[in-house]
């Protein structure tokens, strides 16, 4: 590429038709001239060869991605991050790159979008082996091609008749191995104790030892009994993660039998499959986060979780379960907040999704989570914090509600616990919260004494 | 977890029913006792809470993943790799872990398999933030639930009537921006020059400026003309990467009009969607590799490309295009060979897939690729090396065939080039191969002089 060729991959953002472009922010480490690297990066993402041999055509004006901003963060790094080499001795520059990518190159299709923004062009651009896609902005015209969440936060609150507090989820545990009968009894207990939503673990599938049909039937019955007993709506969130060509059928079978929300693991199943299911869905769709950390955990390589949160919302998830706060989940506080914001912020015609930051939660982690998010628009999703509670899941669920009541009443957890044995037992089993610093059902000898149920999280 | 609890997550491999387990090799960095970390790792992957409160049941014997080997690679690392912290000051141990995972926990379903082997349990196991899934082995009974490739290497060779050499692919370029008429003319020229398979770029979708219907129609016609002119079968590989619920329809439309192989980007579309399409497919299915590097490039974090190669084969791809040799693609030679082996090695009833290691190829990279792989069972996939050739794509394709003839004849590229202007022009345009060290159409001022067509790769 000659110097005059580069110019075709740069543009003034103000001069562009904003509706025609996606705007992408990348972190990039490159060797050699960063402007050349940025031009290559755009070329590789879009029209890698922009004219035929012997022709003077130029496909760049319409089809070329463009650098609209290039900031040098560090102009003289000794080497690339993470032990990655370039085969060159040129000095390494770390930069932040903002790109306008013409979405007409591929259209409003999730697999093609992913291929464009985190595909070969992005991760094999010459001289730039270290890349992280940090953020994506969509124009209204692109968003308008997607349905997004069917119910959204408001629709979910309406279904549950819960308007002024977080939504209380619980992952039924033991997560793997119980037959439907025992499993449904645990769900029933947790609803009676105060959970809004009892959910299958993201690992629980339609297996011979716990068939989805029977599970949905029994949990559906248990849910209706719990609704009758408590006088409030409840949700059984059935995991229908399975091969793509079974999703619609499993949706129908689960919903017909009594599941009233469905979990589909986003990345393992594929966002496009979720978008397909969304067209058919009669109940809220909820995402779990397997297989995102492998490309999102490191600070300077891969794809930021915020991008995937936006894409999950676009695909039509009403609820997005995500790694939450605390050292266990290896997310910075800012990253968790960025994902929660990506769920809730305005996004053209796309409804908000409910963010559910999770990981080793129990009654004592509710206040710090609430304070860090600064809103009641979130879900709280303990597993062992409810189902490993020494007094059982009904008490475990009650301890969560008591923790919320303490927040509303302006009391400490300990003050509240004096009047509530469930909360007191949770504190004894799971930690000693103090000064807003939450302990959690983490693996340590202290935390698992007394070990009421096998397991740690 | 108490010390006596750990034991439930360890087993002697010889004592296990091999047909009941997947065997998984992981690299792991953990803080604290590595045996405890390994036990947690298995627990998190399987039955994270293995009994109900108040019960003495134990779900581990049937449902627990088991450590069958634990090797300490480095017992006293000062910190975790890649700047990841644990929130603890305990010393860090690097280990290699082999796990037997009971596949009955979820069954022969790709989304559930992915959730189990690289999901939350794997990447959020306590005290072990640095993980790489290195390899996976399937028992015959599990493999028998999958169709795998319909044609495989032998079937593809049969279709092309090519039995004793690599298969010659070419990515039609300009990849993005040409209308179907101009695009098909380039494909036609490349077939006449000697390509077996002319392919759409992985970024080319069903767009208004190049609709798949019209593209398949014109390329189908061009293919039949080229077959008539050359007397040998040719393949037009149409990219139908699109939303999952369009795949079957696009398959039918493309094949009906003249495409006789189909490209589906594996990760962006989802392996399960490919498995679905495989049930319906009448032509070979071919994979491209966008979105694998973000979780596979780093040595000690993520998922090894070999694992994804195996999963693509299992999903039913007849051909797997993968990052190839050379610094541009950031793969070690061993890693490329491991992926090629994963395509070709015995895999129970699953046919082999053709490996196509690619990246900046031209006539001069054919010999080193062949020598490094040590077999003719591979595909060779230049882009600009054919379509950016200064004499045009017919000459570009001819230069590839001439490079192969040089290998067969035991000549150097330069010797052969004396009698073949196409090869000579390729050498002048793309590099100066010498001593088996290939140059390539890389971005550098030398390599792009003379720059016959805009672009670099």
| Least CB–CB distance from B275: residue in A49, A206, A243 | A243
Q: What is the DSSP string of A419-443?
A: T-HHHHHHHHHH---BTTB---S-S
> Distance from B313 to chain A by nearest Cα, in Å?
16
Q: What is the pLDDT of residue A327?
A: 86
> Distance from A409 to chain B by nearest Cα, in Å?
31
Set of chain A residues whose Cβ sits within 8 Å of the Cβ of B123: 293-294, 297
Q: What is the pLDDT of residue A5?
A: 86
Between chain A and chain B, how many beta carbons pairs sit less than 8 Å apart? 396
Distance separating the N- and C-terminal Cα atoms of chain A: 54
Q: Which residues of chain A have pLDDT under 50?
A: 433-440, 442-451, 456-457
| Test mutation, B244, B271, B438, B451, chain A, max A CBs within 10 A | B244
Q: What is the pLDDT of residue B192?
A: 98
With residue B199 as reference, give the H or E element that holds it. Answer: strand B197-199
Q: Binding-site residues of A, please?
A: 199, 201-202
Note whether A306 and A344 are within 8 A (CB): no
Running DSSP on this structure, what letter comes out for residue A332?
-
Each residue of B200-250: pLDDT tens digit? Answer: 999 999 999 999 999 999 999 999 999 999 999 999 999 999 999 999 999
| Test mutation, A26, A49, A103, chain B, max B CBs within 10 A | A49
Across the interface, whether the CB atoms of A265 and B121 are under 8 A apart is answered: no
Q: What is the pLDDT of residue A85?
A: 81
Q: What is the pLDDT of residue A452?
A: 53
Q: What is the DSSP string of B264-308?
A: EEHHHH-HHHHHHHHHH-SS-EEEE-TTTHHHHSSTTSEE-HHHH
- Cβ burial A157-177 (10 Å sphere, 16+ → b, else e): bebbebeebbbbbbbbbbbbb
Note whether A303 and A133 are within 8 A (CB): yes
Q: What is the pLDDT of residue B298?
A: 97
Each residue of A376-429: pLDDT tens digit? Answer: 999 999 999 999 999 999 999 999 999 999 999 999 999 999 999 999 999 999
Set of chain A residues whose Cβ sits within 8 Å of the Cβ of B247: none
ipTM, 2 decimals? 0.95
Helix axes A271-280 and A305-315, enclosed angle (nearest 10): 30
Fold of A6-143: Alpha-Beta Plaits (3.30.70)
Across the interface, whether the CB atoms of A1 and B443 are under 8 A apart is answered: yes
Fold of B152-430: TIM Barrel (3.20.20)
> Distance from A154 to chain B by nearest Cα, in Å?
28
> Distance from A278 to chain B by nearest Cα, in Å?
11
Domain range list for chain B: 12-143, 152-430
Q: Which residues of chain B have pLDDT under 70?
A: 86-87, 432-457
Note whether B15 and A457 are within 8 A (CB): no
Among all residues of chain A, which has the CA nearest to that of B131? A294
Q: How far is CA A94 from CA A76, A97, A321, B412, in A?
A: 8, 10, 32, 41
**Alpha-carbon span B344 to B246, nearest angstrom:** 30
Q: What is the DSSP string of A164-199?
A: SS-EEEEE-SS-SS--HHHHHHHHHHHHHHT-SEEE
Q: What is the pLDDT of residue B86?
A: 67
Q: In what order do the strands lie in the sheet with B285-288?
A: B354-358, B319-323, B285-288, B261-265, B235-239, B197-199, B167-171, B379-380
Two tokens at A16? Answer: 């562009």
| Test mutation, B27, B203, B330, chain A, max A CBs within 10 A | B203
Which CATH superfamily hosts domain B12-143?
Answer: RuBisCO large subunit, N-terminal domain (3.30.70.150)
Q: What is the DSSP string of B115-142?
A: HHHSSHHHHT-TT--EEEEEEEE--HHH
| Least CB–CB distance from B119: residue in A202, A302, A384 | A202
**C-alpha radius of gyration, chain A, whole number:** 24
The 3-state DSSP class for residue B55 equals coil
Which backbone phi and psi does A234 adopt, to 5 degrees? Answer: -130, 160
Across the interface, whether the CB atoms of B269 and A272 are under 8 A apart is answered: yes
Report how far Cα A402 is from the mean position of its chain's Cα atoms: 27
Across the interface, whether the CB atoms of B111 and A269 are under 8 A apart is answered: yes
Within 10 A of A371 (CB to CB), how many other CB atoms are there? 10
């Amino acid at each position: 590429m000659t110097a005059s060729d580069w110019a075709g991959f740069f543009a003034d953002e103000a001069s562009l038709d904003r509706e025609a472009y996606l705007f992408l922010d990348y972190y990039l480490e490159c060797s050699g001239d960063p402007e050349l690297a940025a031009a290559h990066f755009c070329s590789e993402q879009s029209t890698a060869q922009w004219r035929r041999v012997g022709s003077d055509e130029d496909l760049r004006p319409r089809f070329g991605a463009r650098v609209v901003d290039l900031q040098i963060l560090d102009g003289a790094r000794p080497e690339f991050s993470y032990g990655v080499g370039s085969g060159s001795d040129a000095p390494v520059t770390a930069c932040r790159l903002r790109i306008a990518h013409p979405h007409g190159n591929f259209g409003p299709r999730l697999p093609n979008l992913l291929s464009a923004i985190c595909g070969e062009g992005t991760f094999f651009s010459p001289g730039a082996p270290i890349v992280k896609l940090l953020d994506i902005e969509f124009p209204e015209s692109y968003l308008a091609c997607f349905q997004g969440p069917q119910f959204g936060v408001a629709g979910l609150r309406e279904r549950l008749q819960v308007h002024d507090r977080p939504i209380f989820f619980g992952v039924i545990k033991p997560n793997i191995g119980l037959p439907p009968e025992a499993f449904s009894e645990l769900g029933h207990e947790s609803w009676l104790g105060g959970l809004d939503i009892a959910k299958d673990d993201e690992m629980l599938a339609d297996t011979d030892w716990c068939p989805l049909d029977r599970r949905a039937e029994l949990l559906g019955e248990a849910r209706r009994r719990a609704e009758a007993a408590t006088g409030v709506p409840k949700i059984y969130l059935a995991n229908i993660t399975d091969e793509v060509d079974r999703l619609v059928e499993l949706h129908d079978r689960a919903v017909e039998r009594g599941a009233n929300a469905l979990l589909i693991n986003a990345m393992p199943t594929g966002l496009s499959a979720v978008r397909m299911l969304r067209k058919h869905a009669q109940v809220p769709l909820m995402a779990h986060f397997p297989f995102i950390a492998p490309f999102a955990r490191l600070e300077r390589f891969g794809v930021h979780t915020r991008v995937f949160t936006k894409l999950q919302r676009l695909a039509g998830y009403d609820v997005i379960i995500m790694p939450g706060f605390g050292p266990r989940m290896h997310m910075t506080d800012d990253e968790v907040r960025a994902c929660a914001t990506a769920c809730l912020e305005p996004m053209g015609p796309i409804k908000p999704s409910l963010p559910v930051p999770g990981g080793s939660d129990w009654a004592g982690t509710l206040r710090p989570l609430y304070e860090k998010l600064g809103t009641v628009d979130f879900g709280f999703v303990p597993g062992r914090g409810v189902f490993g509670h020494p007094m059982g899941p009904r008490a475990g669920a009650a301890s969560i509600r008591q923790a919320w009541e303490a927040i509303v009443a302006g009391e400490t957890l300990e003050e509240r616990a004096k009047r509530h044995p469930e909360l007191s037992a949770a504190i004894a089993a799971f930690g000693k919260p103090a000064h807003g610093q939450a302990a959690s059902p983490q693996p340590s000898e202290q935390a698992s004494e007394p070990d009421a149920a096998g397991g740690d999280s």
